[in-house]
């Protein structure tokens, strides 16, 4: 079992729809969770981070964390073609004492006009 | 303010050559991380520093890889006797502290021929 798992996609949604991206992790003691967006040929760009159970909203983005079920999700409302990118889930596991991130392989999102 | 910068952006090396990759973190960020990203995969941890101390180098793939951050600011990742399997994008990230969010530089794309 991979430490952080994401569906590779591609996930295709129409413009204006809600895109839902999911991520599961294996270390139950994980404390910090991050979502990065990566355009083709570019480096990861931080878009959300969440530490506590529940929802965290920032503009069109909502991160949801459920530690009991060991999953974290990212919702993108009113999806735009410019949201088309690979979304990386990253986790800081408890066993690690130094803050390194474990990444999933990423989910490719395509927003169709 | 200025983000993380990396140089060179692209590097082509012949097999067996040594290379040095530079990272300038965000001013004031005490934590600095190096990751390696293969095509179609999420970044994989290599090593990290807290100020000038290298606290974890467990991700370095072989003893040909060496990293330093002598004054707690700029860091250099050195790869000796490069091999074709070293071809990847090398990403540097900095953070205000351990367990905080990490901000990535543009990366260095290394191609070993």
Residue A71 binned pLDDT confidence (cut-offs 50, 70, 90): very high
Residue B1 binned pLDDT confidence (cut-offs 50, 70, 90): low
pLDDT at site B2: 86
Least CB-CB distance to B41: which of A34, A45, A105?
A105
Sign of the dihedral through C-alpha B61, B103, A111, A102: positive
pLDDT tens sequence across A15-68: 999 999 999 999 888 889 999 999 999 999 999 999 999 999 999 999 999 999
pLDDT tens sequence across A92-106: 976 556 788 999 999
pLDDT at site A29: 83
B42, B89, B103: best mutation site toward chain A, by most A Cβ within 10 Å?
Answer: B42
A43, A48, A108: best mutation site toward chain B, by most B Cβ within 10 Å?
Answer: A43
Q: Among all chains, which residue has been given the structure tokens 């467990």? A: B58
Is residue B25 within 8 angstroms of chain A, CB to CB?
A: no
Nearest-neighbour CA in chain A from B105: distance (Å): 7
Is residue A113 within 8 angstroms of chain B, CB to CB?
A: no
pLDDT tens sequence across B35-93: 999 998 999 999 999 999 999 999 999 999 999 999 999 999 999 999 999 999 999 99
Is residue B94 within 8 angstroms of chain A, CB to CB?
A: no
Is residue B45 within 8 angstroms of chain A, CB to CB?
A: yes
Query: Cβ-count burial of B41 within 10 angstroms (0-12 exposed, 13-18 middle, 19+ buried)?
Result: middle
Is residue B10 within 8 angstroms of chain A, CB to CB?
A: no
Going through B1-113 in order, the beta strands assigned E by DSSP cover 5-7, 10-13, 19-24, 31-37, 44-50, 53-56, 65-68, 75-79, 88-95, 103-104, 108-112
CA distance A19 to A65: 16
pLDDT at site A2: 73
Cβ pair B93, A34 in contact under 8 A: no
- Is the CB of A99 less than 8 angstroms away from the CB of B59? no
Number of neighbours of residue B36 by Cβ within 10 angstroms: 21
């Amino acid at each position: 079992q991979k430490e952080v798992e994401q569906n590779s996609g591609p996930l295709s949604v129409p413009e204006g729809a809600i895109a839902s991206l999911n991520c599961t992790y294996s270390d139950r003691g994980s404390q910090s969770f991050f979502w990065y967006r990566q355009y083709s040929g570019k480096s990861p760009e931080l878009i959300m981070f969440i530490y506590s159970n529940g929802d965290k909203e920032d503009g069109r983005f909502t991160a949801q964390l459920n530690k009991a079920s060991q999953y974290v999700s990212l919702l993108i409302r009113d999806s735009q073609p410019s949201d088309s990118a690979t979304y990386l889930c990253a986790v800081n596991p408890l066993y690690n004492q130094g803050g390194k991130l474990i990444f999933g392989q990423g989910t490719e999102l395509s927003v169709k006009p | 303010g200025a983000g993380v910068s990396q140089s060179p952006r692209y590097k082509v090396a012949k097999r067996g050559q040594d290379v040095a990759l530079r990272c300038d973190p965000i001013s004031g960020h005490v934590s600095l991380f190096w990751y390696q990203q293969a095509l179609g995969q999420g970044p994989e941890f290599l090593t990290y520093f807290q100020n000038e101390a290298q606290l974890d180098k467990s991700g370095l793939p072989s003893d040909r890889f060496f990293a330093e951050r002598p004054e707690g600011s700029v860091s250099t990742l050195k790869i000796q006797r490069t091999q074709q399997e070293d071809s990847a994008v090398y990403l540097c990230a900095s953070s205000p502290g351990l367990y905080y969010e990490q901000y990535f530089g543009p990366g260095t794309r290394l191609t070993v021929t």
